[in-house]
Every structure is written in structure tokens, then in C-alpha cells.
Structure 1
Amino acid sequence: MSQIDWRVLSGPRVTRRTLMQLATATGAAGFAQYLDARHTLLEGARTARAASQDEPQQGGNLRLGFLISQIVTLDPQQLSQGIVAGSILPSIFSSLVQFDEQLGLIPDLAETWTVSEDGVAYSFTLREGLTFHNGDPLTSADVQYTYERTTNPDFASPHANKLALVDSLETPDERTVNLTLSKPFAPFLAVACTRGPGRALTPVPKRAVEELGDEQFGITPVGSGPFMVVPESVKVGSGLTLAAFDGWYGGRPYLDTIEVQLIPEPSSGVSALEAGDVDAIDPAPATLFEQLNSNPDLAVINGPSTSWRGVVMNYARPPWDNIDARMAVSKAIDRQAMVDTAFFGLAIPAVGAIAPAFGWAYLPPDQVDNPQAFNLDEARALAEKAGILGAKPVIISSEEIGQRPTEVLRTALVDLGLDPQVDFQQAATFNERWQSGDFDMFLHGSVVDADPDDGHWNIFYSEGPWNTYGYKSDEADKLLVATRETSDQAERARLFQELQGVLERDVAAAFAYHQNDLMAMSTAVQGFTPIPEQRYYEKVWLSS
């Protein structure tokens, strides 16, 4: 591989072309595919904006309907609830850098940054006069505090692994942050430092965290983004209101407020949007997407995502420690039927955890030796061999997973000869259950940030933060470590494909589907730029 000059990642602007070239050159081409998928969707957004002849209008309340029943936390260092992380948090918290419309990296809190030629030293210069929502100044000390908070083992942040390569962080003055990595890592800025995916280093104010405590900070957080939480508006199970922050470095947003409404029932969300009771719903339900798409008063988004889901079974609860039992479940699932029935075709069957957006490592199903392929006769034979016919596994689920895919799974297990029960929970209880290992099985998964690493390491590494079901494999661990230690693209692809084979063979998960990113909004909502799995509202305005 030719010598790479990592200084091309220095700011105040890193173009999409540079990111694509560097990602490909270093073996982080999953990031390149991620950028490319997002770029395709943005073309439609630019066309829609060009068609509008209206000038942005100041003021107004944007009513956002989220098809969930509960927000578990708004603490960026603890948040793992996908829709909240991508759709609400970016309005409350700014970070060091952010994506622009061309999917390059541009300043957020850092007005510029430099990267050393060898790719291990990063130096950020913060803007002058930054403040948090409570009026406290935002300085390099807050970035250092955030780093220490995220990496503190007692705090147990699910994002700590994004900072695993950081050897040191120094703050020589109030506006300078110097980071040194143990080795070059091309997607570091995107996965650890950006507003949205980079929640690991999203600055939080020490005084507010200490005064409120971690739990309350997750309910009424204090950030530095374009909107701030109105504490008295927070109603558990109902929603909250965000108010424009006059002190945001980018100037006051067009909107006065964003009213976040929680609408657990998808049909109720669609009815509210069509009746004009909300201005947008997120995510748009696949079951009613065509109805939304045919409404001339609405605009819809149907874009790529980097997510996957699959059934994990609890190794600590026999018979799910038996590979024949797990393989029986996996081979009983008709993935195409699940996609068609649960998502009306707005998803892709999964063969492993590598999403199709990561084309450098992904292989289509017809090119993969898939031991988990649907075969009900083989599944029943394995179930009889494992002695699980008539078993009564409990499937835990939540609204973020959805009732329809869970029901398709339940039906598949009935066809297999089992008597499954579904325990549908609100997000907080569901998270407590799976994080503590209190389940027989559920549809696990990940929204991968910029590389397949996150969706594999967190869930399949023996000590991964989201591996609460007991999968342990020395072979898988060695392959996971190897994918992090090489920068050769072809070698990383080979390692991930070999790892995929191990995970399929072991039935580390019964891999199921990759769901599309769907959203719908009133045509009165202007200035919105659709980016998969991220929502920014500071440039959004409402036409009269």
C-alpha cells in the first residue's frame, strides 16, 4: 500500500471526495460506502429545495411525532436508542465536527483541526465564546471531562470503544484539544467526533452533570446545540419541547420550538400527520408507506441505512446453548417472507451482520455459503434432535424492533413446533431485560456508524458491551481483533467474510434483515436535508 499523508484530514473542511479516497486507501471503505449511500439520497433533497421559491421564515413550532413510547435517556454518552440518537440528540448537542450537505466534514464546535502526517495526532481548535445552554462556557476542559466520563469503566458507556485507540488527550489552553492515537484510524473523526454518530466525544458540561446527577442529566440534559430542552416540558411517555438557543454559535434557528410527541401506535402517527396534528413522523411505518407516498401534501424519505437485525438466543438458558436448537430456529425463518410481510419489501434479507452499504465486505446471498438458509424440513429435524419441540421460549421485544417482525418470528417458531410467547415491553424495561440477560431470545441488532466494526465488535466480541447473551468464540475474537489491526481493504474484507462464516456457523445470531430508513413530513416543512439515520433541524422552517 502506498504511503498515506494523513494531513488531508485536517480542517476546516474535509471534502467528501477526500473522505472517500482515504477510506478506500486505508481499508475503511465501509465508511466510503456509508458516505456514498448518503450522497445518493441528498440529490433529491437539493432538487426539492431548488423547487421552492419561498424565503425562510422565522418562528413557528415544528411538531415531530416519534413512533416510540418512551425515551430512555438523552445522555449522549449513554444513549443507544437508535431513533433518539439520530433524530433528537443532534438538536440538543453539538460536537467537534459535523457532516455538510456534500458529506464532507466541516466545523461544529471546532473551527479547525489538524491531523499529523502519520495519522495519530489530532489537534482541534475550538471556536471562541462557546457556551452551554446553562450559560457555562464550553472549553477544552469540557472535552477532556467528556473523554474521561465516556472511558470511565464505572460509567459503562456503550461508546467507550470508539475511544479505545486514544493514548492521550491534552488541553494546553482553553481552545485547544490534542489527541494522540495508538495507530491511524481513518473513520475516527466520523465515529467519535461528529454531531450524531460521534457521541463518544460530544461535550457535556461538568457542572450540570454533577449538579443533576447522571440519571437526571439523561432526562433534562444541558447541551450546546441549536435547541435546548425545556425542563418543565419533559413528560415521561408523552414527549418534550426543545426551544431555540439564542447562544448557539451558528445563530438562532428559524424555528422557535420543536415539540416532540411520542406516538407508539404507527397508524395513529399516520393519522396525526394526515390530519395536520403533527408536521412529521419518524420513522414512517413501512406498512403504511405507500399511503403516505401517494398523499400530495406529504413528502417521504426512503433511503439506505447501515442497520441489521437478527435473533440472538440466550446461551445461559438451555436449550439455547445447544447449537442444534439455535440452528433449528434460524433455518425456520423465511427472511424474504419476513421482509415482505413485516416491511412490505422496504428492507433487505440479511446474510450476516454486514449491511449491503458496506459493499467492499458484503457479498450477496447467492455468493455466500449460508448454513442458516430457510429450510423448514431441516429445521424440524434439528428441533427434534435437540429436543425442543413444544418448548415455550419467551421473545422480548419493543416498539423500536416492531410488532410485525416479532410476530413473523413467532409464527416461524410455531411452524417449527414450538409454543413461543411474546413479551412486548416499553424501551426502558426492554433495555433492562436484554442488558441483564433476562430473555430467551430477541431481535438484536445495530445501526452501524461508519464501518462494520461497531455492529460486530459490540455484539459478537466476547467482552462486547452489547453481548449479553453469552456468545464466546476464540476464533471470532481473533478475527474481530484482526479486522481492527489491518488497514488493507482486501484483507479486511477477507477477515469480515471469514468472520461472517464463523458467526453463521455458530448461530451467534439468526441473521434476519436490513431495514430501510423511512420518514414522512408535511410539504410545509422546508429546509430539511435527509441524511440516513440523522436529523438536523436548525435550518428547517415552516412555510405559511
Structure 2
Amino acid sequence: MNRKTLVLPAVIGLLAPVLAACGGTDSGSDSGDAIVVGTTDAFTASNDAPAPLDPAYAYDVGTWNILRQTVQTLMIQPRGEGDPVPEAAQSCGFTDSGNERYACTLREGLKFANGDPVTAADVKYSIDRARALKADSGVFALLSTIDTVETKGDREVIFHLKTADATFPFKLSTPVAGIVDPDIYAKGKLRDGFEVDGSGPYTLKAEVRNDQLVSAVFTRNPDYKGSLEVNNGKVELRSFADADAMGTALDKGDIDLMTRSMSPEQILKISADSDDNVDLVDMSGLEIRYLAFNTNDPTVRAKAVRQAMAQVIDRGELVSKVYGSQAEPLYSLVPASITGHSNAFFNKYGDPSVPKAKAMLEKAGITTPVKLTLHYTTDHYGPATKKEFELLRKQLNASGLFDVDIQGTPWATFRPAEQKGEYEVYGMGWFPDFPDADNYLAPFLDKDNFLGSPYANSTIRNTLIPESRRAADRLSASNSLMDIQDIVANDVPVLPLWQGKQYVAANDDVTGTAYAVNSSSTLQLWELGRGVSG
């Protein structure tokens, strides 16, 4: 197979935002076959999670990537990087000096795909619904700074916030703030299954087998009005059991493009091939991986146990042996390219040291070896996850201070078990809701956090997070953000491991691949077209 590699700028902000005028659906062609995109994301409806695609419930990168094609939000993250811009809104902005009152005016003529008009009352209904349902995924916490939502006429929506929140425009760009039709989405109940209805650039037809979505066909919505230029008439997102099966489909021509998650071996093989019928697009990414702790569990309740793990784990070895140049060690929850980042864990622990870890445990009176199980998901973060956890086990056991086992579980079972506190230590990934340091801290540390973690630090919750959100200039929030990271490094409710790049591999006749995924791992299927790539 013929391949070549395209490397995109790695520094946040180098890609200038480029937005089309309203009514961009006039571009592109409805003729020809759908552009077929492969993914290893699994979409499952289960007893624990029967409504995976309801905007009031969905809270993982895979389901959000379906919702972002179909359910419109007031704001949207731009094509490259930068502050969010109006999408369903014609304009939005703070109307006070304290960042506590935010007003949006809707575009004229907005319609749901079924023809119903989209009004300010629908926006209020959608936001209030997500806040009231308080789904156990924790996604409603993104809207926690809202006090009340007010409407004026059919087109004006005013958000009154409980406290200043300079990140609020970003939050209105996330699917939990998606606008839904009150006639379809019940007020007091999540919408089960895989149907999605909205006013976004596409409509969805889902193919489901055994409670799993195996194919999502997105057809351009002729009534869409927004900021996006849609460059195709139809895209199919096809789910594969693993990266090898997805790669085989690309080789055979069954799919046109593959995205997350390719294996490290696949990426190396594709990049090494000197031919050029397939492009490998290498772009900056803000994905992180970390270990999380149930701080109420007797095994890891003692802070010294968590600190000793932080002192023993060798991130450099982990990255070099499992991911190579496709990742880099991470010493904070906040990635290195985000304003407010600090190397808090390296500053506290330095290089890996068994003697230092041993001293920590002895001082706390902890009997060694500490026996525990590291839990990971087998089908959500890519095929290298098992190898990663095997190496973590080896590092910890080699210290003589730990007796570690590992246990892999499918995501549909893993996620509910983690939320119920059934695991003492577990591996997770984070794809940011929006590219701001707040979104790497508050979802893990604030009340109603994403993990359902029992860890609570009053200084972080009551002082530092609110203080950081008051700063419209995010650089001026750095001191508060760094203080949070220092506390995390000391208490270790989570243990950051690495941050990664992201890749897309596509047939050479598919255009728009450079913007197919943004830095937050959002699929931008409207960017894809057919022609001759560069």
C-alpha cells in the first residue's frame, strides 16, 4: 500500500481559525458514495447505560463525536484553535464586567431536522433538562455555574451565573449544551437507544446489532444554518472490534479513513512506508492518560501508598517501551501545551526512586508489599493499553514494595463499576471538553466530578477553582491553577502518566484530513471531501 506522512504544527494556536459563512451546506456534493471513516470506539446500550447518545448523558469522546455532527450548540470550537465562536447563535458575550451574565442571540430561521423551529425556549429547555436530570455520567457538572436561564422573545437567551466563569463560552460548545426538541426529548427521562435528533449539519441513521451501534450514517441536513461549511453529502462512521481489523479495511478499500485508535505498530508501519497513496496525518493532541484512586478504599486510603506509587512509576520507560515518539511523559493533569501547566509531580518526586518510596511507606507505618489490582478497559483507549498496564505492574512489583495484579474489562462494564467505587486503582484517559486548564482540573476535583471520586479538597473547590474562573485572561489564572496542581501532586487522588499525539490515516483522494480531528479529539466530519489531496 502506498503511503506518505503529513505533520501538522504541534504548537497550540498555530492553526488560524477559518470559518465559513452561514448556510455553508450549499457546498459539497450529494452525489457518489459516502466517505467511510473507521473507528475502534465502541457504542453500547446496556442496563447501566441505556441512553448513550442523549446529550444529557453522553460524556466520552466517541459519543460526543456523534453528537457534534448532529446536535447544534450555541457556540463551537473553531476549525483550528482559539476561543469558541457562535454556531447556533448569531452572537454571544458577557454583558457585565464580572463574567456572571452571558447573553446569546440565535440565528434567524433555525430548524430542527424535522422542520420544527428552534427557539430560545428550546435552548432553555435543553440546558435546564440536562441540569435537572443529573445523569450519573457527571456531564451535567459542566453546567454547574449556571444559576438560571432566561429567555426574551424567540431568539434571546440569557444565562445568569452563580459565580464568575470565564470558561463558560467553552462549556456552551460542548454536547451537554446541545439544543434538543422538547417534543422528542422528555423533560424527566433520558432518551434510550441510538436515535439522535437535532439541528446540526447532519442527520443520523444508526445500524445497531446486539445493543451495539456498528455504523452511523450521517447525511447532510439541508435545513442546517450555522457557521460550518459542509464539504460532503454523506459520511459513514463504522466501528471496528480492534485496530487490526480497521487497518485491514483500509488496505482493502472498504473504508476511506481511519482514526482513533490506531496501534503504535500501525502508525510506525504507515509512517515508514515510502509510497504515497495513503496519507498519515500527525497532529498535536491534548489526550492524557492517568491512574485514578478510590481514596475511600482501604488499600489506597493512606496518602503514603499513592505517593509511593508516584515515586516508583517510571513514565519515561512507560512511554518509550509502549508508545515511542507517539507520546511524552506527563507530570501534571494539565498538558504541557496548555496555559497554566506546571510539572508539579516532577517537582515533588523527581526521578523514580525505590528508596524514597520505601521511606514514605515506612514513615506512614504501611506494611509492604502493598497488594492491589490495577484495572483498565480493554476496548476504549486503544490496543496498547494492556501492554501499558503490564509494564506498570512490572515496575511496581520490581520495587518490592507492591504486589500488583492487573484486570482488563470492556468499557460498558468498566465505566459503571468505576463510578460505583468498585475499583481501588484504575486507568483512565481524558480528551478535553475544551482546551483550557480548568477542564483538566475541575472535572476530577470539583463537586459532582466526572470520576465520582470521593476525594474532596476544600481549598481547591471553594477557593482556587472559583478564583481561576474569574480570570478572563487565562494567563492571569496561572497562579491559582498551579496551586491546584501542587495540591494534587501532594495528595495524589490521580496520577498523570502521559500525553499523546493523534493520527488520521486516509486514502489520498480524501481531502480535508488536516482538519478531520481538532486538538480536543473532536471529529469534524464536515471537513472531509473527495478530490486530490496535497
TM category (shorter chain) comes to: 0.7 to 0.9
- CA distance in 2: counterparts of 1:100 and 1:312, whole angstroms: 31
- CA distance in 2: counterparts of 1:437 and 1:124, whole angstroms: 39
Identical positions, percent: 19
Q: Quick check: 1:228 aligned with 2:203?
A: yes
Q: Deviations over 1:318-362 (max 9, x none)?
A: 121112222222222110111112212211211121211224x22
Task: Decide which moves more: 531-540 or 236-245.
Answer: 236-245
Q: Is the 8 A contact 1:292 1:300 kept in 2?
A: yes
Q: Is the 8 A contact 1:227 1:242 kept in 2?
A: no
Q: Write out aligned runs for 1:280-295 (5 A).
A: 280-283=257-260, 284-295=262-273
Q: Deviations over 1:47-85 (max 9, x none)?
A: xxxxxxxx9784321221112333562222322212432
Code of the residue aligned with 2:440 in structure 1: it is G
Q: Is the 8 A contact 1:150 1:200 kept in 2?
A: yes
Q: Is the 8 A contact 2:37 2:256 kept in 1?
A: yes
Code of the residue aligned with 2:240 in structure 1: it is I
Q: Is the 8 A contact 1:91 1:227 kept in 2?
A: yes
Q: Quick check: 1:434 aligned with 2:418?
A: yes
Report the secondary structure of 1:123's partner residue. Answer: strand
Q: Is the 8 A contact 1:193 1:201 kept in 2?
A: yes
Q: Deviations over 1:184-239 (max 9, x none)?
A: 533322x2222xxx2232101111112995141x5212122222221455764451
**Aligned residue in 1 for 2:171:** 192
**Aligned residue in 1 for 2:6:** none
Q: Evaluate the alpha carbon distance shift between residue 106 and residue 482 of structure 1 in structure 2; reply closer, same or farther with a 3 A threshold.
A: closer
Q: Quick check: 1:203 aligned with 2:179?
A: yes
Q: Evaluate the alpha carbon distance shift between residue 126 and residue 157 of structure 1 in structure 2; reply closer, same or farther with a 3 A threshold.
A: farther
**Aligned residue in 2 for 1:25:** none
**Aligned residue in 1 for 2:399:** 416
**Aligned residue in 2 for 1:179:** 159
Task: Decide which moves more: 145-154 or 486-495.
Answer: 486-495
TM-score by length of 1: 0.81
- CA distance in 2: counterparts of 1:59 and 1:88, whole angstroms: 22
Q: CA deviation at 1:144?
A: 0.6
Q: CA deviation at 1:36?
A: 9.4
- CA distance in 2: counterparts of 1:100 and 1:479, whole angstroms: 28
Q: Write out aligned runs for 1:274-313 (5 A).
A: 274-283=251-260, 284-295=262-273, 296-313=276-293
Code of the residue aligned with 1:542 in structure 2: it is R
- CA distance in 2: counterparts of 1:146 and 1:487, whole angstroms: 26
Q: Quick check: 1:67 aligned with 2:67?
A: no
Q: Is the 8 A contact 1:353 1:455 kept in 2?
A: yes
Q: CA deviation at 1:313?
A: 2.2
The correspondence for 1:500, drawn from 475, 481, 485, is 485
Report the secondary structure of 1:465's partner residue. Answer: coil
The correspondence for 1:239, drawn from 211, 214, 222, is 214
- CA distance in 1: counterparts of 2:81 and 2:333, whole angstroms: 24
- CA distance in 1: counterparts of 2:485 and 2:389, whole angstroms: 24
Q: CA deviation at 1:499?
A: 2.0
Report the secondary structure of 2:141's partner residue. Answer: helix
The correspondence for 1:79, drawn from 58, 81, 87, is 58
Q: CA deviation at 1:435?
A: 0.9
Report the secondary structure of 2:171's partner residue. Answer: helix
Q: CA deviation at 1:135?
A: 3.3
Q: CA deviation at 1:95?
A: 1.4
- CA distance in 2: counterparts of 1:166 and 1:325, whole angstroms: 38
Q: Is the 8 A contact 2:56 2:139 kept in 1?
A: yes
- CA distance in 2: counterparts of 1:273 and 1:90, whole angstroms: 24
Q: Is the 8 A contact 1:383 1:416 kept in 2?
A: no
Report the secondary structure of 1:379's partner residue. Answer: helix
Q: Deviations over 1:217-271 (max 9, x none)?
A: x521212222222145576445123231233236995544322222232222223
Q: Is the 8 A contact 2:105 2:156 kept in 1?
A: yes
The correspondence for 1:116, drawn from 95, 104, 113, is 95
Runs of at least 5 residues in structure 1 that lack an aligned partner in the other structure: 1-34, 47-54
- CA distance in 1: counterparts of 2:350 and 2:61, whole angstroms: 27
Q: Deviations over 1:279-331 (max 9, x none)?
A: 12221333321222244222223222333322122222212111222222222
Code of the residue aligned with 2:411 in structure 1: it is A
Report the secondary structure of 1:391's partner residue. Answer: strand
- CA distance in 2: counterparts of 1:469 and 1:99, whole angstroms: 29
The correspondence for 1:335, drawn from 303, 315, 319, is 315
Report the secondary structure of 1:210's partner residue. Answer: coil
Q: Is the 8 A contact 1:68 1:399 kept in 2?
A: yes
Q: Quick check: 1:362 aligned with 2:341?
A: yes
Q: Is the 8 A contact 1:396 1:423 kept in 2?
A: yes
Q: Evaluate the alpha carbon distance shift between residue 42 and residue 430 of structure 1 in structure 2; reply closer, same or farther with a 3 A threshold.
A: farther
Q: Evaluate the alpha carbon distance shift between residue 429 and residue 470 of structure 1 in structure 2; reply closer, same or farther with a 3 A threshold.
A: same
- CA distance in 2: counterparts of 1:263 and 1:249, whole angstroms: 32
Runs of at least 5 residues in structure 2 that lack an aligned partner in the other structure: 1-8, 20-27, 46-51
Q: Write out aligned runs for 1:110-189 (5 A).
A: 110-116=89-95, 118=97, 119-152=99-132, 154-155=134-135, 158-182=138-162, 184-189=164-169
Q: Is the 8 A contact 2:280 2:505 kept in 1?
A: yes
How many residue pairs end up in the alignment? 492
- CA distance in 2: counterparts of 1:365 and 1:454, whole angstroms: 17
Q: Is the 8 A contact 1:64 1:278 kept in 2?
A: yes
- CA distance in 2: counterparts of 1:175 and 1:489, whole angstroms: 30
**Aligned residue in 1 for 2:387:** 404
Q: Is the 8 A contact 2:308 2:360 kept in 1?
A: yes
Task: Decide which moves more: 441-450 or 477-486.
Answer: 477-486
Report the secondary structure of 1:357's partner residue. Answer: coil
Report the secondary structure of 1:326's partner residue. Answer: helix
**Aligned residue in 2 for 1:51:** none
**Aligned residue in 2 for 1:18:** none
The structure with the greater share of residues assigned to helix is 1
- CA distance in 2: counterparts of 1:115 and 1:400, whole angstroms: 38
Report the secondary structure of 1:386's partner residue. Answer: coil
- CA distance in 2: counterparts of 1:318 and 1:464, whole angstroms: 22
- CA distance in 2: counterparts of 1:76 and 1:175, whole angstroms: 22
**Aligned residue in 1 for 2:25:** none
Task: Decide which moves more: 122-131 or 381-390.
Answer: 381-390
Q: Quick check: 1:457 aligned with 2:437?
A: no
Q: Evaluate the alpha carbon distance shift between residue 322 and residue 270 of structure 1 in structure 2; reply closer, same or farther with a 3 A threshold.
A: same
- CA distance in 1: counterparts of 2:93 and 2:477, whole angstroms: 27
Q: CA deviation at 1:380?
A: 4.8
The correspondence for 1:527, drawn from 479, 498, 512, is 512
**Aligned residue in 1 for 2:194:** 219
TM-score by length of 2: 0.82
Q: Evaluate the alpha carbon distance shift between residue 166 and residue 480 of structure 1 in structure 2; reply closer, same or farther with a 3 A threshold.
A: closer
